[in-house]
């Protein structure tokens, strides 16, 4: 199978639901085969925007990438007159125009609130990896070694131990609670704020009554929230100004949770010593390339940016794909596999 090519699988035996697949299933052969048995599929991972528009014209379902290079808006979807369901193997839908889908009665199926989500640990583990990388200046040290440097610039590489420090978790859901558990195994204290969760005392986590308690107490702060009207730019100039001096900030939730100019300002002023983010605002737009975060990181080593890869593991992608396929089968009432001829 050639990468970034479109291939139509048509069994010709009976009429199967037409499905466009732009998620990368080439690494998940069982999922690929499962879809090919039960749907009339066009596998088009890597197709550009214009090709996707053309392919959508007569599709009843779309299994999209969780991180496409384009925003799935009305300009794309208006040509999809037969589209009934749009499945994304992610919990968030910042890459999809939900209001337009609602108006057109296109059902969006996500991983949010599904049982499988609680068995996916990739994003939680990666969030803690960013905590370690930021606290130990790992990226500058690795880059220095590549340049042939060793300990001559050790002042740039010197970090801090996590043991005895306090982790502040904003959003104590699946990822937040996992990161808190990892932190405790490192000997960290944990304080968390989440107005929608009653934290069990057995978790050995102090539950803050407001976000200010976390900001002023924690040595490391992680945001683990869903993007909503109330969380959009919740980390702004005001909140960054309240953070404990010298703290480390980590965000793996959604880029829009952070006012990026305010984060850069906090780094420049030294309000926070370092930051690590796996997400940015407007990821599906060329605007991201003009981001103040990218501009700052080009000249400063205390900001780590990775390209939204927290969930990018074979294990998590397999679990997410399998759940997404279940959404499709349930929608079309497919209860058995069609034998391959």
Same domain? For 39 and 145 the reply is: no
Annotated active-site residue in 254, 260, 317, 327 = 254
Same domain? For 196 and 47 the reply is: no
Same domain? For 191 and 127 the reply is: yes
In a domain, 205, yes or no: yes
Label residue 1 by pLDDT band (50, 70, 90). very low
Reading phi first (left if > 0) and then psi (alpha if -120 to 50, else beta), residue 270 is in left
Q: What's the domain range around 202?
A: 121-305
Annotated active-site residue in 226, 237, 288, 308 = 308
In a domain, 291, yes or no: yes
Is 283 a catalytic site residue?
yes
Q: Quick check: helix, strand or coil at residue 100?
A: helix
Residue 24 CA to residue 321 CA, distance in Å, equals: 10
Same domain? For 110 and 142 the reply is: no
In a domain, 148, yes or no: yes
Does the structure show a pLDDT above 60 at 15? Answer: yes
Annotated active-site residue in 40, 256, 283, 317 = 283
In a domain, 336, yes or no: no
Is 154 a catalytic site residue?
no
CATH number reported for the structural domain that contains residue 56 in this entry: 3.40.50.720
Same domain? For 161 and 295 the reply is: yes
Does the structure show a pLDDT above 60 at 338? Answer: no
Same domain? For 95 and 216 the reply is: no
What proportions of the chain, in percent to the nearest 5, are helix, strand and coil?
A: 40, 15, 45
Same domain? For 148 and 58 the reply is: no
Same domain? For 244 and 142 the reply is: yes
Same domain? For 81 and 128 the reply is: no
What digits encode the pLDDT tens for the residues 43-81? 999 999 999 999 999 999 999 999 898 999 999 999 899
- Note the maximum CA span of the chain: 70
In a domain, 163, yes or no: yes
Looking at the whole model, is its pTM more than 0.75?
A: yes
Same domain? For 287 and 145 the reply is: yes
What digits encode the pLDDT tens for the residues 95-120? 999 999 999 999 999 998 898 999 99
Same domain? For 157 and 261 the reply is: yes
Same domain? For 300 and 151 the reply is: yes
Is 317 a catalytic site residue?
no
Number of structural domains the chain divides into = 2
In a domain, 60, yes or no: yes
């Amino acid at each position: 199978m050639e990468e970034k090519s479109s291939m139509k699988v048509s069994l010709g035996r009976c009429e199967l639901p037409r499905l466009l697949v732009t998620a990368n299933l080439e690494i998940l052969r069982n999922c690929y085969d499962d879809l090919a048995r039960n749907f009339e599929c066009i596998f088009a991972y890597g197709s550009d925007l214009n090709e996707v528009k053309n392919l959508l014209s007569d599709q009843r379902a779309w299994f999209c990438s969780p991180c496409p290079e384009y925003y799935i808006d009305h300009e794309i979807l208006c040509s999809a007159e037969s589209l009934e369901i749009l499945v994304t193997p992610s919990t968030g839908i910042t890459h999809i125009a939900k209001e337009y889908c609602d108006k057109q009665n296109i059902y969006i199926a996500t991983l949010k609130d599904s049982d499988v989500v609680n068995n996916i640990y990739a994003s939680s583990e990666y969030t803690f990896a960013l905590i370690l990388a930021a606290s130990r200046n790992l990226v500058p040290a690795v880059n220095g070694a590549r340049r042939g440097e060793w300990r001559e610039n050790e002042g740039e590489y010197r970090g801090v131990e996590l043991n005895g420090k306090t982790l502040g978790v904003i959003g104590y859901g699946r990822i937040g609670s996992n990161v808190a558990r990892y932190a405790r195994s490192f000997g960290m204290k944990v304080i968390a704020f989440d107005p929608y969760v009653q934290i069990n005392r057995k978790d050995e986590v102090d539950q803050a009554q407001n976000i200010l308690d976390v900001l002023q107490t924690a040595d490391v702060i992680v945001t683990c929230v869903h993007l909503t009207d109330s969380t959009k730019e919740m980390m702004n100039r005001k909140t960054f100004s309240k953070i404990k001096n010298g703290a480390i900030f980590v965000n793996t939730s959604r880029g829009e949770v952070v006012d990026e100019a305010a984060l850069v300002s906090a780094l420049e002023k030294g309000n926070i010593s370092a930051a690590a983010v796996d997400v940015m605002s407007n990821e599906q737009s060329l605007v991201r390339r003009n981001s103040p975060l990218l501009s700052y990181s080009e000249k400063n080593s205390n900001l780590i940016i990775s390209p939204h890869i927290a969930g990018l593991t074979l294990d998590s992608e397999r679990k997410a794909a399998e759940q997404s396929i279940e959404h499709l089968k349930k929608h079309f009432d497919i209860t058995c596999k069609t034998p391959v001829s």
